[in-house]
Structure 1
Amino acid sequence: MAKLQVSGHHYHIQGILFDKDGTLLDLHSLWNSWFDQFYETISNQQVVSKSELAEFIGLDIENKIVSPRGPLAIGTVEDIAIIAALYLYRQKLPWNEAVQTSRNSIQEVNATIDWDRYLQPLQGLSAFLEKARQSGVKMGVVTSDDTDIAEQHLHLLNIHDYFQSIIGSDQIVNPKPFPDIGDKACQEMMIDPESVVVIGDTNGDMKLGKNLKAKANIGIVSSADEDESHLTEANYIINHYEMLDIT
């Protein structure tokens, strides 16, 4: 087994399960840009308040920060669609039209946005993934995003081939923190969930690891100045991948 070292402790592991947004790639730059296009698409069809819609889905557009406790950071694509539809419904749009407008807008943005322009890997990620692969660690991505979008992002970051399993919320019934997504990834990688560590930026990721009985749950916040109080179930908190070592 490989040995993962974090904060002076070490764990013998077979695998690592990563969240995607905020864990492999910078959360704030990506989803602020995505929301700008989402708002423009909806506002072409319905008069809406940009700040109110942003607040509904958990985005502070003034400071360009995604709330780690909000739907945009934690929820599935369908969650965001329904929450945006609820906002449109409150603006007096009939419910069926609100749902259709929201879903169609998300599909349009996802199909047309220049993902490559906004995707940025977290500090030290590529070197850590390479070292983990050389150490024989199997790696999987377990994300609330849809699988096809996750695959696209990983290809654009040139890290897709590091992962033996990539599971989006569209492949499972019960989302995080239920263990389903982690169990499925471990089955694909043919390893025991209790032999992995989980790395993520939300407490849902940490609870996922807890429900899997993972060896350790590592929370990640991309800046030392960033609030980390939401990571109540994390065993350790890091700011970048240079704070981990694997042999």
Structure 2
Amino acid sequence: MGRITAILFDKDGTLFDFHASWGAWAAGVLETLAQGDAGRRGALAAAVGFDEGAGRFRPESPAIAGTAEQIVAEMLPHLPGVGAEELLVWLNAEAARATMRPAVPLAPLMDELRARGLALGVATNEAEGPAHAHLAAASIAGRFAFVAGCDSGHGAKPAPGQLLAFAAATGRVPDEVMMVGDSRHDLAAGRAAGMAAVGVLTGPATRQELADLADAILDDIGGLPDLLDRHAAD
């Protein structure tokens, strides 16, 4: 890990606790799409890896690290008469209204990191519109120099396009950037971009699942200042 001058965050499971933010939302979306048909609701839940009993996504769910287009592709066979674009637009609009649960108090942490001279950004496999809506609702939108979604023209993780675009936008070389995320897609993208890769445990992945790709693993992003201090002292 070189000298870190910028941090790029994943959104869901990193800035926001994944299950607390998306469990109830997903249950409501599935109920709406099923239109009272329990069999259809169950088929949709299975298609996107949602455990209705537990109210949370399973580890293999495309909702965890996939794109909105991937989720739509899994749902469409169970929604006759619904078009892909129609469903994508509706899901993105519903996602923008979802209530996000911050993993830690976000504004003071972002302010502390910015006070250290760090450029901050967000890279998500969600669409860019909902990402901006969630950051604004959490009153932290102005803290980020860069926000990219799967539809921003840089591709999606685990490919490194979003990460390299952040480095270019902030005038950094990749080894000055720390990618922070809760999934293997996040950390693999960091590795592919030549960046430091830090995992957090506020998403579905376990410490063991992230270990081989991570330079460090934190319980949550609140541990970043201490990690940066330890790294600077090395």
Instruction: State the 1:65 CA deviation.
Output: 2.6
Q: Secondary structure at the match of 1:198?
A: strand
Q: Could you report, residue by residue, the CA deviation over 1:118-169 in whole angstroms, capped at 9, with x for unpaired residues?
A: 2111125333211110011001101001111100000000111111000111
Count residues in correspondence. Answer: 226
Query: What one-letter code is carried by the residue in structure 1 that aligns with 2:30?
Result: Y
Instruction: State the 1:226 CA deviation.
Output: 7.0
Q: RMSD across aligned C-alpha pairs, in angstroms? A: 2.6
Partner residue, 2:224: 244
Whole-angstrom CA distance in 1 between matches of 2:69 and 2:90 = 14
Instruction: State the 1:236 CA deviation.
Output: 1.6
Q: Secondary structure at the match of 1:32?
A: helix
Whole-angstrom CA distance in 1 between matches of 2:66 and 2:173 = 26
Distance 1:110 1:202, change over 3 A: same
Partner residue, 1:5: none
Gaps of 5+ in 2: 230-234
Partner residue, 2:182: 201
Task: State yes or no: 1:141 paired with 2:122.
Answer: yes
Instruction: State the 1:110 CA deviation.
Output: 4.1
Partner residue, 2:110: 129
Task: State yes or no: 1:36 paired with 2:27.
Answer: yes
Query: What one-letter code is carried by the residue in structure 1 that aligns with 2:180?
Result: I
8 A Cα contact 1:57 1:72, kept in partner: yes
Whole-angstrom CA distance in 1 between matches of 2:21 and 2:86 = 20
Partner residue, 1:176: 157
Partner residue, 1:230: 209
Gaps of 5+ in 1: 1-9
Query: What one-letter code is carried by the residue in structure 1 that aligns with 2:209?
Result: H
Whole-angstrom CA distance in 2 between matches of 1:44 and 1:135 = 51
Q: Could you report, residue by residue, the CA deviation over 1:50-75 in whole angstroms, capped at 9, with x for unpaired residues?
A: 33322321222222232344200111
| TM-score of the pair, normalised by structure 2 | 0.85
Identity of aligned residues (%): 25
8 A Cα contact 2:50 2:58, kept in partner: yes
